[in-house]
Chains A and B, each alone.
Chain A
Amino acid sequence: MTPPELSEDLLSAYLDDELDAETRVALDERLAASSEWRTVLAEVRAARDAVRALPRLNLAPDAWDRLVQAVAADAPPPGRAGPARALLRLRRGAASRPVRWVGAAAAAAAVVVAALVLPTPARITPKVATFNNEQSARASVAGDPVSALAGVGLMHGLGR
């Protein structure tokens, strides 16, 4: 078999156990022999883990717009790079840091996917009457129970 060429896609497939047995054996041999391959493998693994560690956000429909606005408006404090500057740094360093670029793209994609694919947040009907009763019950422990609980039976018209 032709020795495999250094490829992040290949290493990603290796981590995901998607390679056939022959390719996997060949890759194991390259990894054992090359520190450069092992370094790249560690970077791919770190990027993959970072993306997978992102929480599944239950985003509002306008979350992406708000994110973009916040990044655009975020002026970095003196001596500290903000997101806009970080993006410039990203461009400059893209050639030398391919794995980070891939990770960033994946992370950004994860946010986009979260915004577009995840179900719309639950529509909440606040149970004002129930909450009133719960608050009154709690208040009646430390205070006068009669005046605290007097409103419990009078919540008609305030929903659940």
Chain B
Amino acid sequence: MNWVRWPALGLAMLGVGVIVGLGPPAPAQPSSNDAETLLHTATTAATHLSYSGVLTVEWSDRGQMHQAETSARIVDGVVEVGEGAQTALSRGGQRWVGSAGNWALMLGPDVPAATPPRPDANWNLQTQPGPVIAGQPTTDVVVSDRRTGTARARYFIDRTTGALLRREVLDPSGHLVREVSFDQLVALGSVAPPPPPSHARRAEPSKLGSVPGGYDAPSTLGRGYRLLGRYRQPDGTVQVFYGDGLFTLSLFEQRGTLDWGSVPSGATRRVDGVAARLVATPTTSAVVWDARGVVITCVSDAPPDQVMLAVQSLVDNASSSSVAHDIAHFVLGPFGWN
């Protein structure tokens, strides 16, 4: 714990009295306008805490709830999530996925994204007392739609450490879409963090100043998503990354036509006449469609309806300049015929 960063912590400890759990305590119960500070604390808690636990992941797929368990170990800023063949390892700005002897570096430290908007730029934030999760009392940060006032996400944050213990994403009716929650939590003492992989396949993207012609990368998307970065994956896929302050979204664009038979099962959606498939994953929604010779896969941790709004805005943007019109203009233009 960084005591310089958290000078109020000592006073909070006196107020709380007995501290149980992961380590040094955090400030006392905040007021509602502290929601943004709490969210920030939650995103950085892993950098100064050491704990491990069992995570339950729940998600809804076409009306059916699914559940799975995984594990997490956090030691001095190094985060290891999962086990076996598909483990994710976070260390500084680097991210690896894989397992011993078969790691892939998914993100290097030298391709950062722009700073996202503030969490309250597009959402209303409030706090209220939350339940006890994995033995820890929490504060519930409620994220609401500004138009409807409906809760769309909830972040349950450990009152004593600031660690995020549960994250819920909700549909427009307030029903659970997906959840990641600690079930068990163990404070780790003085242990060494997981070492970085000694060998890893290079799979990290490179940064692009602009996307090549034919790819879409509007500066804004949906309700408040702002373009934060453009990248090219090693296989040529163009990734465009967006954030709205709370949720993030990536467009993965590949030239070609979609092999629908290879798309994982999901719900069919039509966006302005364009067929798309909405695929539920444990922690994200993916929407796949093709248009104008480019296959686009949109992946986001936002509620599915918000992802579809982003897709809608992209399709609307793209349809304003159809490829046929572009070709006609290109062919006829040089001869003064249009």
Give A residues with C-beta under 8 Å from B: 50, 54-55, 57-60, 63, 66-67, 69-71, 74, 81-83, 86-87, 89-90, 100, 103-104, 107-108, 110-111, 121-129, 131-155, 157-159
Contacts and interface: CB of A to CB of B under 8 A. Distances in A.
Nearest to B181: A147
Which residue, A69, A81, A104, A142, has most C-beta atoms of chain B within 10 A? A142
Nearest to B89: A149
A145 B86 contact: no
Given A133-B106, A137-B95, A152-B81, A144 B42 contact: yes
Contacts of A150: 55, 57, 70, 72, 81-82, 180, 282-283
B323 interface: yes
Contacts of A86: 332, 336-338
B286 A154 contact: no
B3 interface: no
Contacts, number: 242
Contact of B57 (A121, A126, A135, A151): A151
Nearest to B77: A145
Given A121-B293, A134-B250, A153 B43 contact: no
Contacts of A108: 331
B46 A146 contact: yes
B126 to A, nearest CB: 19
A118 to B, nearest CB: 11
A90 B338 CA distance: 11
A141 B94 CA distance: 9
Contacts of A145: 46, 79, 81, 90
Given A126-B258, A154-B70, 4 more contacts: A103-B334, A132-B286, A137-B95, A150-B283
A147 B72 CA distance: 10
Nearest to B328: A71
